[in-house]
Each structure stands twice: as structure tokens, then as C-alpha cells.
Structure 1
Amino acid sequence: MSGGTAEGRASSLGKEVAQRQQGIPVSGTRPSVWERMRAGRMPPGLLFALLALMLVVLLAVAAGSGAYPISPGRIVAILLAKMGWTQGGYEPQEMGVLWTLRLPRVLLGVAVGALLGMAGATLQGLFRNPLADPSLIGVSSGAALAVALTVVFGNLWWPGLARALGLALLPVAAFSGGVLTTMLVYRIGRTSLGVSVAAMLLAGIALNAIALALIGLASYMATDEQLRNIMFWNLGSLAQASWPVVGVVAAVGAVAAAGMWRLRSGLNALALGEAEARHLGVAVERLKAWAVLSSALAVGMAVAFCGIIGFLGLVAPHCIRLVAGPDARVVLPGAALLGATLTVAADLAARTAVAPAEMPIGVLTALIGAPFFLFLLLRAKNRMAEG
């Protein structure tokens, strides 16, 4: 059997599995809008259109809201002026606020939210568990530990590196710590028969506990200023946004998103189980490696510049799955759009709720995500009791 034939069979199987999971009759053609509606699922085209509309409207509101409000008409005038189409219609101060502060911040929120949403959808498909979250594989805790150690001991351990990197020191440390921790989790999960998902999960839990203990030790040894920096990073913020940061996150994030998107058919097939997926031509071990690497790259890049923004990787893909079904071809882009929308909305609330001060965005996402997690847990418990 050729590789192309195996890939085609896996893709075809993934589509059939997704249809069966949604309660849609399997036929030789793509399910119609009416078939999806009868199965209680929203058609993907309608879902994507609604999410995109919500995101565009929210971007306009977020760009104009804050301590210095800017009307939608002025925003349009500034954007047209930047494109060289018109001149005037706005104040110079409005141009500075929008172009230097607001737009980079909302676009960074879009990129970070999309990456966290896609990473959550990928890992939930890999673990075959809707309660899975990117923090399970140690990216967030590893990044937080690297930041804590750099803040407290950076000037003692590597003063030359701190001077060379300057403001980029903490993002580089966070990204490196997240990726290294994920690689360690993956290495622990490897067995002679391949990568054990259960072993990876347990390794992630253990390394998360170790990282939290070391973060506590570093916090105990930190000065008041260092402790504030560690806490601010752990609670998450988009305050570091700038056009260079947006460019880096978007470029690296596009690579990670492409890596996760290419796994869509394999994730659908994996829903049947590893043995069945292998029988149908899916390279399961390669799928696991790509899923872990791509999600680690996505979450590591988000955490590197924005700190820990929890629960988005849990909430966004699960909401899409509830509305449109478990098809990875729908869940991955849907989770990206919803994750972006939730991140921009949370940042807008963080900037305006206690203006002119700013709340950490991670506090707001935790207030939304933690109750949602408990709801999912109780729902799963009730299903097991009924079964």
C-alpha cells in the first residue's frame, strides 16, 4: 500500500468517523445543511461566518475602547490614512494611540487566542479527552518556571545573556522552558512500543507539580520587585504588545497552526482508537510527535510574550464541539476563531473594568474557565453514572 493511498484512506475514514459521531447519515457525499441541522449541529460555514463576524465587531470595539476612546469613524480614517488612500479626519494623538498601542494589542490577542484554541483542540484529539488542556503537557508550567528562575537568578547565572537580550530575555526564557519541558514529557512517555499517551499525561502532572514547587521556592527567595514581576507574568497580560512582537508571534504561530491543521484527518481517525487508526493507515507515532511539537510551539509562543492565560485551550474547542460536533476539520479552525474572540473580549474587560488600572487577563479567563471545567467534570461524572 502506498503512502498516498494510506493517507487517502485515513482522510476518508476521518470524515466518516466525524459524521457518525455527529449522528449524520453516512453517504458518498458531504452531509447537507439539513442533515446537520437535523442532527442538532450547526453547519460549519454558518458557524465560521458567525464567529468571524463576532471577532470583527469585537476588534472594532476593542480598538476604540479604553482610557482614551476613539470613535469607529476615526478608526476607519486612521486605517485608510495608513494605507495611503485618504488624509485627515482624525487627531494626531488618536493616530498614536491606535497605531502604537491598541492595534498591536488586539492583534496579539487574536494570534494568542487562536494558537491556544487550536492547541487545546489538538491535544483533546490526541488524548481523546475533552477535559485535556495544553497545560497538561507542561508547556505553561515549564515556561513559568523558566521566567521565575530568570527573574530571580538571571543576573547571577547569566549576566552577559541578560545584557545581550535585554527586553527579549523573559520571552526567550519562557519559550525555551516550555519547549524543553514538553520534550522531557514526550521523552518520558516513549516506550519500546511507541509513545504512551497515558504516560505522557502522568509525566505532565508530575512535572507540573515539580515546576510549581520550584516556582514557590524562587518566589520565596525573590525581592518584592522580583515577586511582582513573577506574579504579573503568571497571571497573563497583553501589555507587552508591539508590532515586532505581533510579527514574531504571527510568523511562528502560522508554522504551528499549519502543523496542527495537517493532523485533522488523523485526529478524526484516532477517535476510534490507536489500533484501529494504525489498521487504517494512520502513522500514529508520527501523529503524536507532530501533535505534541505543534501544540508546544503554539502555546510556548503565546506564553513567551503574554504569560499564562489559562483555560482558553479547554473552553474554546469544547464549545465548538458542542455546537458543531467533533469533526477536527471544524473544531480546529472553530477553536482558533473562538479562542481569538474570547482573548480579545477578556483583554477588553481587563483594560476597562478598573480603568485606568488594568486587571491581569489570566484572572478573567480563569474565572470563566474554572467553572466551565467543573461543569464538564460533573457532566462526565453523570454520564458515567447513567452508563
Structure 2
Amino acid sequence: MTVAATTTRRENTTAGPRSTLPAAPTAVVLGVALLAALTAAVAWGSTTIPPGEVWGVVWRRLSGEPARPGTNDLIVWQLRAPRALLAALVGAGLGLVGTAVQALVRNPLADPYLLGISSGASLGAVAAIVLGLGAGSALGLGLSGAAFVGALATFALVWAVARRGGGFAPLRLVLAGVAIGQFLSGFTSYLVLQAGDEQQTQGVLFWLMGSLGGANWPLLAVPAVAVVAAGLWLQARARGLNALLMGDETAAGVGIDVTRLRRELFTVTSMLTGVLVAVSGAIAFVALMVPHICRLVLGGDHRRLLPLSALFGALLLVVVDILCRTAMDTQELPISVVTSLIGAPTLLYLLDRRLGSDS
């Protein structure tokens, strides 16, 4: 038997259960559902706009026609369309990050919070807000840079602790991430208390629970580039991610440089997490729940899992953002409130179902 055949056989054996849904039709269904959700996100709100008018405004803008007088063009193009697209980008990014982190630590219940990356990104972004770094049109870039620095510094610290004594242990990595993440969360809370005024404190707290209220067209550029670049990089290494699930020795035996792949994987997930936290705040459960659900219904082969997790994550967050905007008349709900209310019972149900099928 050739090395390639052995690798393929091992990947198919260890990548998880066989998919119960075919990948291509599932991707088509998710894509159509995402398009419908984006249309609903732009159409629904305090002022309801017919879907036909929504697409009419989008077509006129894309074809270069001047905006028509009235409020519909302003609402669709300047307010709701950037927010809907940002929700899709952040959801897709969280799906990719969750899938990559779960492969990194060989644990289907891992996410960036577990490794402290989200806490480091939040600390960097909150420090930028409280200290007044970045304002006006540069706010997105300033926050992205600060969040990325925080995420990368946390990554370096967690990685150094996990690698103490040589070798690599996923359990040590998780424990180091939890401990460092909790420490950074405490320091973030301290910075919030140092905010200059009550309004700024409330704004930071609301942002920490997740918000897409600051979406605009210039803000989409950084997360769009980050999500696409990270998605292509991860997809190119889907075979390596499958190999990580087999254990370090087996992965090395099929030609994977495990240490290098882990280092690169941790760097990419830190970068992407930092960008996502900067533009949306800390959003709970999506990076944990989306890959877990996709893995249960599609199997664990990352060649299918990565793109479908991105699609499902985008769809989920667009729907959640619609609920956040429309559930209450007087105010907007933080995104993490809704994702936690949906994610916690859903995850408990899936775990109970999985444990029941394993017993």
C-alpha cells in the first residue's frame, strides 16, 4: 500500500463519523438560506422595506446609478446592508476559528475563549477604547490593530506556558489558556472601571457583549480580507488538520510538521480572532457551537467542514442580528445575549444526543 493511500485511509478513519448529509447540496441550501437571511436583514427593522425594493436599491448602487430621493436608499445602502454583511463576515470567521481551534487541541468543545485568545483580543480593544486610541474613520483599524496585538501577545504567552519542558500537550494548552484568559478578563474589567465617563463605560460593556451597530462600508474591508485569507489558508491545510486529530506521532508519520502547523495555526486563529473582536466585540458560543453542529451532521473531514462551518456561521449570525434588532422596540439586544440563549440549550441537547448514541 502506498503512503498516499495509507494517509487517505487514516484520514477517513480518524476525521470523524461519516457524513450524514452530502456536502455539495448542503452548501447550496446554506448559500440560498444565507442570501434569504441577508435580504431579510436589510428589509426588516423599524421601517420595513419590500425585498424587491431592497434589491432594486442594491442593483442601482452596484450599477453606478445615482441614489434616488427618499429614505429607502439611505436605510438600505448606508445602514442595513453594511451591518448584514458584517454579521455574515463575523459569523463565517467565527465558524472558521472554532473549527481550527478544535482541531488544534483535538477537542470538539474548544473555542477561542477556552485558549484565552478572545480575552487577549478584548483586552487590547478595550485598552484602545479607554485610552482613546483611534477615532472617527480610523476607529476600525485602530481597534483591529489593538485587538490583534492583544490576541497575538496572549497566543505567545499561552504557547510558551504550554511548551514548557518540551513537547506539546493539548490539556496543558487548554489549562494555560483558561488561566491566562481569566486573568486578562479581570484586567479588562479593571480598565472598564477606569473609563472616563459613564456613557463610555456603558458603551464598552455593551461592546464586550457583542454589537454590530458600528458597521459601515469602510469597516468591512479589514474583516473581509482577514476572513477570506484565513479561510483559504485553512482550506489549503485541511489534510494537516485531519492529521492532527490522529495524534502527533501518527500525523508526523504521514509527513506533517506538527510543531510548525500548530504554530502557524495558532498565529492565524489569533489574527482572525483579533480582527473579529475588534469589529464586533466578544460574541459567545458561535465559534463553539457552529463547528460542533456541522461535524455531527457532516463528519469531521476538514475539506468539507471548513467551508460549511463558514457558511453556517454566517447564516446563524445574520439571523441572530435580526433578532437583536427587532426583538425589542426600545433598545437593541447585545449579540451574546441571544447567542447564549440559543447556544447553551442547543449544545446541551447535542451533547446529550451524542452521549446517548455513544453509550
- TM-score w.r.t. length of structure 2: 0.90
Q: State the distance in 2 between where 1:141 and 1:308 align.
A: 8
AA aligned to 2:214 is Q
Deviation at 1:325, TM superposition (A): 1.1
Look up the match of 1:78: 57
Q: Secondary structure at the match of 2:114?
A: helix
Q: TM-score of the superposition, structure 1-length normalised? A: 0.84
Superposition deviation, residue 259 in structure 1? 2.1
Q: 2:127 is matched with which residue: 144, 149, 153? A: 149
Q: CA deviation at 1:120?
A: 0.4
* Change in 2 beyond 3 A, CA 1:172/1:76: same
Residue from 264, 289, 307 that aligns with 1:315: 289
Aligned partner of 2:188 in structure 1 is 215
**Aligned letter for 1:285?**
T
Q: Is the 8 A contact 2:116 2:182 kept in 1?
A: no
Q: Kindly state the Cα deviation for residue 181 of structure 1 after the two structures are TM-superposed.
A: 1.2
After superposing the two structures, state which structure 1 stretch, 327-336 or 289-298, moved more.
289-298
Which has the higher Rg, Structure 1 or Structure 2? 1
The alignment status of 1:179 with 2:170, answered yes or no, reads no
The residue identity in structure 1 corresponding to 2:13 is V
Extract unaligned runs of 5+ from structure 1.
Answer: 24-35, 156-160
User: Does the 8 A contact of 1:124 with 1:133 survive in 2?
Assistant: yes
Structure 1 partner of 2:346? 372
Give, in angstroms, the shift of residue 275 of structure 1. Answer: 1.1
1:245 aligns with 2:219: yes
Please give the per-residue CA displacement for 1:274-318, whole angstroms capped at 9, x wherever unaligned.
111111111111221122112112211110111011110111111
Q: Against the structure 1 CA distance between its residues 331 and 162, is the aligned structure 2 distance closer, same or farther, given a 3 Å change threshold?
A: closer
Distance 1:66 1:11, change over 3 A: farther
Alignment partners' CA distance in 2, 1:74 and 1:165: 29
Question: Does the aligned pair in 2 maintain the 1:14–1:268 contact within 8 Å?
Answer: no
Task: Tell me what 2:46 maps to.
Answer: 67
Aligned pairs (5 A) from 1:103-252: 103-152=81-130, 154=131, 167-168=139-140, 169-191=142-164, 193-222=166-195, 223-252=197-226
Distance 1:376 1:146 in 2: 34
CA distance in 2, matches of 1:85, 1:163: 30
Once the two structures are overlaid, the 10-residue window that deviates more, 91-100 or 305-314, is: 91-100
Shift of 1:13: 4.5
Cα 1:87/1:229, change in 2 over 3 Å: closer
Which deviates more from structure 2 when the two are superposed, residues 349-358 or residues 95-104? 349-358
**8 Å Cα contact 1:147/1:230 also seen in 2:** no
Deviation at 1:364, TM superposition (A): 0.6
State the alpha-carbon separation in 2 of the partners of residues 266 and 183 from structure 1: 22
**Unaligned 5+ runs, structure 2:** none
Report the CA distance between 1:372 and its aligned residue. Answer: 3.2
1:33 aligned partner: none
Deviation of 1:165 (Å) = 8.3
Compared with structure 1, are the counterparts of its residues 237 and 349 closer, same or farther at alpha carbon in structure 2 (3 Å cutoff)?
same
> What is the aligned partner in structure 2 of residue 32 from structure 1?
none
Equivalent AA in structure 2 for residue 167 of structure 1: L
The match for 1:51 among 19, 30, 36 is: 30
Measured after TM superposition, the shift of residue 198 of structure 1 is 2.3
Question: Are residues 110 and 165 of structure 1, via their aligned partners in 2, closer, same or farther at CA, if it must alter by over 3 Å?
Answer: closer
